[in-house]
Amino acid sequence: MVLTNEIIKEKLNEKFPGVLVEWGEPYGLLTFRAPAELNMKVMQFLYDDETLCFRFLTDLTGVHFPDRKGEELSVVYHLHNLKDNIRLRMKIYVPVERPDVFTATQLFSAANWMERETYDFFGFNFVGHPNLIRILNVDEMDYFPMRKEYPMEDPTRVDKDDEMFGRGGTIV
């Protein structure tokens, strides 16, 4: 039997009825959203299930959406089933005031540095991580630079503006 997106979706919905939402297949990659507190439950199920077998963590990263109140920060997992050669993408959202996410390090050793990097740039608190310290930035840094409130350019400059890049803003 070839594992398809439909089968994965069916199995997940059977195990977690009604909680997995925002299903989609952008560019053929099955994508869904899970409740933040269930992230490890879902991943453990994907890992353990004999047909699903998602046992390779391809990528783990964060995205910041400052406009979504109450779910500003998102963690995106890319998992890969190497046996059937199929990928999926799982997203969870947490509020920026309490960015608590359960760690995936128990399941994947690879998640260790990936989560440290994501913490370093977005400030997620990966609950249960063995060593959640900064990895690429200096230890003394007291903010999370990939968040959208930190613009690339020097904020005192007035000659450059986001309007030049197609997303609003005003030219002074």
Which residues contribute to the site for other proteins (CB under 8 A)? Answer: 26-27, 29, 31, 55-59, 61, 63-64, 76, 78, 82, 85, 87, 89, 108-110, 112-114, 117, 121, 135-140, 145-146, 152-153, 164-167
Give 69-120 as a DSSP string.
TT--EEEEEEEEETTTTEEEEEEEEE-SSS-EEE-STTT-TTHHHHHHHHHH
C-alpha span between 103 and 100 (Å, rounded): 9
| Closest CB to other proteins among residues 17, 69 | 69
State how far the Cα of 31 lies from the Cα of 10, in Å rounded to an integer: 13
Phi and psi at 159, nearest 5°, equal: -80, -15
Smallest gap from residue 88 Cβ to other proteins (A): 10
Beta carbon of residue 17, minimum distance to other proteins (angstroms, whole number): 26
Q: In the complex, what is the shortest distance from the CB of residue 82 to other proteins, in angstroms, rounded to a whole number?
A: 6
Q: Nearest distance from residue 12's CB to other proteins, in Å?
A: 19
